[in-house]
Chain A
Amino acid sequence: MYDAMLAETVTIAGHGGDEIEAYSARTMQPGPVGGVVVIHHMPGYDRQTAEFTRTFAVGGLNAVMPNLYHREAPGASPDDAMAAARAKDMIPIPDERIVGEVAGAAQYLRGLSNSNGKVGVIGHCSGGRQAFLAAVSLPLDAAVDCYGGFVTGTAPEGHPLHSLPPLVERVADLSCPLLGLFGKEDRAPSPADVAQLSEALKAHGKIHEFHSYEGAGHAFLQVDRPSYRPEAAVDAWQRIWAWFGEYLAG
């Protein structure tokens, strides 16, 4: 397989047309190829999620990760940007802004010269919920939710998401097939939350495939965290490649 790629920091038009920072990793294949918007987790626009982004490019896709905290701390290191956003009461980032940033990232991908016009989204942790949010808000071709909490169910009293209607209420608007990857020992989403989401998707005739792994909890894809579960992660990555291979091809 031809695996050359180019990874670099770029500027894209995000929510409201504002310029934000993003990390772009593009296959050097002439195409046409699909693209993936990668949504980072709460700790930020970090090295680990950049690695996810590059992995897609090595595998023959284009990928871009918008820096969701860029507006709060332009030019800052990822962890300082997260802390700045938190200090400014901007964590979690409002859903409307997330959708705008993902829409801008999708537009960036569709505008690449080797694009086939198809764009998927993937996110982990808080980004898993935001991947689902994007998929019920934007026209996309595939989505992957990696253990995103509070798509179903209600966040605890006092939690910033407590007052928001559960995203599952918008399941009828899901624009694309959804792959869900979960750990059976996770509490958010719990196995009951995952089952509820699956039932809602079935009830609305939405294409989806869920995998819940024994012995895995939250963040089982994070290779440098104690939560890493290699057996689950290896299988999950195979599922991700198969999903994007099926729905972003052409």
Chain B
Amino acid sequence: MCTYLTEKVSISGSGKGPAGWFRVTDASVYFDHPVHAQAEHTLNIDFLDPGAGPAARVAVELTAESARALANAIEATLGSVPPGLL
């Protein structure tokens, strides 16, 4: 099934693509058919700078299990940051 469902979020940071580092301003998060990963559906994230064109993109396609592990790792990492740094 094509879910089409997409969560979009404004972000601030940088990503590295084939042409080197660039700022990222937007992310699309969706669970849908992947382009490359060997699964019917994956949790996909596009880190984007729309102002720099469609190729300004860092993309990942993750199995649902690994996406949850990644989300947990992000939360755990942020949760363990020493006081005063966030």
Contact with A along B32-60 (1 / 0, CB 8 A): 11110011100000101010011101010
User: In chain A between 52 and 75, which residues have their CB closer than 8 angstroms to a CB of chain B?
Assistant: 72-73
User: In chain A between 21 and 57, which residues have their CB closer than 8 angstroms to a CB of chain B?
Assistant: 41-44, 46
A159 touches B59 (CB 8 A): no
B2 touches A87 (CB 8 A): no
Partner of A43, one of B4, B26, B35, B57: B35
Q: Decide if the interface of chain B is mainly helix, strand, loop or mixed.
A: loop
For residue B85, CB closer than 8 A to chain A, the reply is no
B6 touches A77 (CB 8 A): no
A87 touches B1 (CB 8 A): no
> Across the interface, which residues of A come within 8 angstroms of B53, CB to CB?
73, 76
B48 touches A87 (CB 8 A): yes
A187 touches B1 (CB 8 A): yes
For residue B5, CB closer than 8 A to chain A, the reply is yes
Given contacts A83-B54, A227-B40, contact A91 B35 (CB under 8 A): no
Q: Which residue of B lies closest to A81 (CB)?
A: B54
B28 touches A149 (CB 8 A): no
- The distance from the CB of B36 to the nearest CB of chain A, in whole angstroms, is 8
A43 touches B34 (CB 8 A): yes
Contact with B along A149-167 (1 / 0, CB 8 A): 1000000001111000000
Contact with B along A188-211 (1 / 0, CB 8 A): 100000000000000000000000
Q: Which residue of B lies closest to A219 (CB)?
A: B40
- The distance from the CB of B52 to the nearest CB of chain A, in whole angstroms, is 11
Partner of B33, one of A92, A125, A160: A125
- The distance from the CB of B30 to the nearest CB of chain A, in whole angstroms, is 7
- The distance from the CB of A42 to the nearest CB of chain B, in whole angstroms, is 5
Q: Which residue of B lies closest to A190 (CB)?
A: B1
Measured CA separation A41–B2 after assembly (Å): 9
- The distance from the CB of A129 to the nearest CB of chain B, in whole angstroms, is 9
Measured CA separation A218–B1 after assembly (Å): 8
> Across the interface, which residues of B come within 8 angstroms of A82, CB to CB?
35
> Across the interface, which residues of A come within 8 angstroms of B1, CB to CB?
149, 187-188, 218
- The distance from the CB of B71 to the nearest CB of chain A, in whole angstroms, is 20
Given known contacts A158-B5, A226-B38, what 16 new A-B pairs fall within 8 Å (CB)?
A41-B2, A42-B4, A42-B32, A73-B53, A76-B53, A76-B54, A76-B55, A80-B55, A82-B35, A83-B57, A87-B8, A87-B50, A89-B6, A91-B4, A187-B1, A227-B40
Can you name 26 A-B residue pairings with CB atoms under 8 Å?
A41-B2, A41-B33, A42-B32, A43-B33, A44-B35, A46-B35, A73-B54, A76-B53, A77-B54, A80-B54, A81-B54, A83-B48, A83-B54, A83-B57, A84-B50, A87-B8, A91-B4, A125-B2, A158-B5, A159-B4, A160-B4, A218-B40, A219-B40, A225-B38, A226-B39, A226-B40
